[in-house]
Amino acid sequence: MNTNHKEQITTKHIANIVVGSFFAVSLLSSLILSSSSVSADDVVDIINITVPVSCTLSGTGQGTHNETIENGTYESNIGTTTIKAFCNDNTGFAIYAAGYTGDEIGGTNSNKLVGASTNQTIVTGTATTAGNPDVSNWAMKLGAVTNPTPTYPITITTGYNDYHTVPNEYTKVAYRNTSTDIGSSAEGATLTSTYAAYISKTQPADTYSGKVIYTLVHPATAPAPGQKSINTATTMQEVTFCDSTLTVGQVYTLTDERDSQQYKVARLADGNCWMLDNLALDPTDPTTAANMNASNTNASAEAITNLLNGGNAGSNAGWSSTAVADVDSGFNSYTAPMINNASKDTVVTSYGAGSGKVGIYYNYCAASASTYCYAQGQGVDVPNTDIDAPQDICPANWRIPTGGGYNSTTHTGSGEYYTLGTALGLTLDENLLRFNGTTYQTALSTPLSGGYLNSSAYNQGNWGFWWSSTYLSGGFMYYLNADSSYVYPTFGDTRFHGYTMRCLVGS
């Protein structure tokens, strides 16, 4: 919990020894008035006292709460714990809570109560009577006790209907943004936590157990336990949020766990953390393919399996291709996930970094991790075409930016590519739908990487093209394109083109 915050108390002791007559003393007085320096004969003591940051979290009444509840009944008070928290500096603190079973925190089942012998569970919920279906559930309620009152993201109330579901991952339940009053007992904030449960008529007899953990973080702006931003992570996959306190434009380097590829990243003016290099993940590389899974990729295990399930590139010579499952031999470039890696390390004109690598070209089927692989007007993996891409091949916790068009009535654009431009202070030219100048290109370090189509790359060094996650119409998705003078954030193109990718993580 300690930080580098220090309070220093400095004391200077100066000893002047004078021996002489009245004249000498008068002379000394004159010398003191005319001198401001410390002489070599003086003795100086400097005392530095450092008081480190100290945070405490304690509970009264915590431990095991036992209750016997008959089938079909509700118990509104299964024990109460009083939690006290304190930090001795002026940057505050936050309290996070999470339900967990065994040693698992943050998992899908971590907020369930598990039976000791029946292998049955009780899920979290706020029902007090039988519903349809009649399902057992348990919940938690927070209550304030003393001042100074902290802020509670979860409602603080006392009624039976004010219970909340138990979070299955660390969730902020209380915080103070500033220093706390020490007082006689050093209680910076105090809250209570009470539990309740409804037991359905069909719940098997057993003893059901689970846990709730409360953790203090310091300062108040610190992330939840286990969360990292780009300044504290070493891999892309470790990043879970974009820290709003980071300096805009400060560059960090992170490694993709799947292929050890390194990427420059930064928090930009829109508050999101962006990759400053084009994605260079090659799913046709056997080692990379073997390392790809749902825990390190922004896609499900099924989508990744489909992406890596063999196939060929048909008549699109020059493409390297994996394949999506259940696509017949007549698939076209919409339905085959295709990449081209020939220009992966080609260096082209860039902004911000001076030059940059092209990275890999992906058609949209590949970019979306096989979740958007169907011909125009035909839904194969997704039931209709009028949706945004549900998944992609960005690292876990990262994703493709959203795109969008321009509304001539409101004179505004939409999507994160547009928002980044406006956050940079740029105004979209309403006639040509572009941002002027190179401010945008510099912020995003855009290499003019060109695209890929009809067996060859094109416009390398002249234009850059980046996919978004947003559907436009038919076989079209919104994308971003840029040249050496302008950025066009509201255009779209067909999904069989090969374009580059950037990924971001939000705050």
Convert the pLDDT of each residue in 457-484 to its tens digit: 899 999 999 999 998 887 889 999 999 9
Contacts of 120 (CB under 8 A, 6+ apart): 114, 203, 204, 206, 208
Mean local confidence (pLDDT), 254-261:
97
In sequence order, the β-bridge partners of residue 458 are 451
Mean local confidence (pLDDT), 116-136:
92
For residue 37, what pLDDT is reported?
Answer: 66
What is the pLDDT confidence band of residue 86, given thresholds at 50, 70 and 90? confident
Ordered by where they begin, the domains of the chain are 8-50 (no CATH), 55-217 (2.60.40), 406-505 (no CATH)
Closest alpha carbon to 249 in 440, 417, 397, 422: 440
For residue 90, what pLDDT is reported?
Answer: 81
For residue 265, what pLDDT is reported?
Answer: 97
Residue 181: alpha-carbon gap to chain centroid: 33
What is the pLDDT confidence band of residue 325, given thresholds at 50, 70 and 90? very low
Per-residue pLDDT tens digits for 385-426: 456 888 999 999 999 999 999 998 999 999 999 999 999 999
Instruction: Examine the pLDDT at 89 and tell me if it is beyond 90.
Output: no
For residue 113, what pLDDT is reported?
Answer: 93
Place of tokens 């539990």: 195
Contacts of 72 (CB under 8 A, 6+ apart): 130, 199, 200, 201
Instruction: Examine the pLDDT at 299 and tell me if it is beyond 80.
Output: yes
Amino acid, single-letter form, for residue 50: T
For residue 32, how many other CB atoms are within 10 A of its CB?
11
The kind and range of the H/E element at 361 are strand 361-362
The kind and range of the H/E element at 307 are helix 301-307
Instruction: Examine the pLDDT at 317 and tell me if it is beyond 60.
Output: no
Instruction: Examine the pLDDT at 487 and tell me if it is beyond 50.
Output: yes
For residue 160, what pLDDT is reported?
Answer: 55
Most confident region among 121-125, 300-304, 381-385 by mean pLDDT:
121-125
Radius of gyration of the chain (CA): 31
153 — alpha (psi -120 to 50), left (phi > 0) or beta?
Answer: alpha
How far is Cα 324 from Cα 433, in angstroms, rounded to an integer?
36
Amino acid, single-letter form, for residue 453: L
pTM listed for this prediction: 0.69
Per-residue pLDDT tens digits for 383-393: 444 568 889 99
How far is Cα 186 from Cα 81, in angstroms, rounded to an integer?
18
For residue 85, what pLDDT is reported?
Answer: 83
More confident call, 273 vs 143: 273
Closest alpha carbon to 138 in 163, 173, 170: 163
More confident call, 315 vs 230: 230
Mean local confidence (pLDDT), 80-91:
84
Lowest-confidence pick of 188-197, 268-277, 316-325, 388-397: 316-325
Most confident region among 60-69, 288-297, 312-321 by mean pLDDT:
288-297
How far is Cα 370 from Cα 385, in angstroms, rounded to an integer?
14
Closest alpha carbon to 382 in 396, 370, 395: 370
Amino acid, single-letter form, for residue 105: I
Return mean pLDDT, the chain: 81
For residue 311, what pLDDT is reported?
Answer: 34
For residue 318, what pLDDT is reported?
Answer: 55
Mean local confidence (pLDDT), 18-47:
52
b/e burial code for range 328-360 (CB count within 10 A of at least 16 → b): eeebebbbbbbbbbbbbebebbbbbeeebbbbb
Instruction: Examine the pLDDT at 329 and tell me if it is beyond 90.
Output: no
For residue 174, what pLDDT is reported?
Answer: 83
The DSSP code sequence of 256-269 is -TTT--EEEEEE-T
Spell out where 132-188 has E strands: 137-146, 171-176
The DSSP code sequence of 278-291 is -----TTSHHHHHH
For residue 324, what pLDDT is reported?
Answer: 39
For residue 180, what pLDDT is reported?
Answer: 66
For residue 161, what pLDDT is reported?
Answer: 63
Residue 37: alpha-carbon gap to chain centroid: 55
For residue 7, what pLDDT is reported?
Answer: 29
Per-residue pLDDT tens digits for 331-381: 346 777 888 888 999 999 899 888 899 999 998 988 998 888 766 544 334
In the chain, the percentage of residues whose pLDDT exceeds 90 is 47
Backbone torsions φ then ψ of 432, nearest 5 degrees: -105, -5
- At 145, is the secondary structure helix, strand, or coil? strand
Closest alpha carbon to 418 in 497, 491, 352: 491
Mean local confidence (pLDDT), 434-449:
95
Cβ-contact 397, 257 below 8 angstroms? no
Per-residue pLDDT tens digits for 132-181: 999 999 999 888 766 566 777 777 665 556 888 999 888 888 888 776 65
Closest alpha carbon to 202 in 358, 356, 300, 71: 71
Lowest-confidence pick of 128-132, 277-281, 478-482: 128-132
How far is Cα 196 from Cα 260, in angstroms, rounded to an integer?
47
For residue 185, what pLDDT is reported?
Answer: 56
Half-sphere CA count of 266, side-chain side, radius 13 A? 18
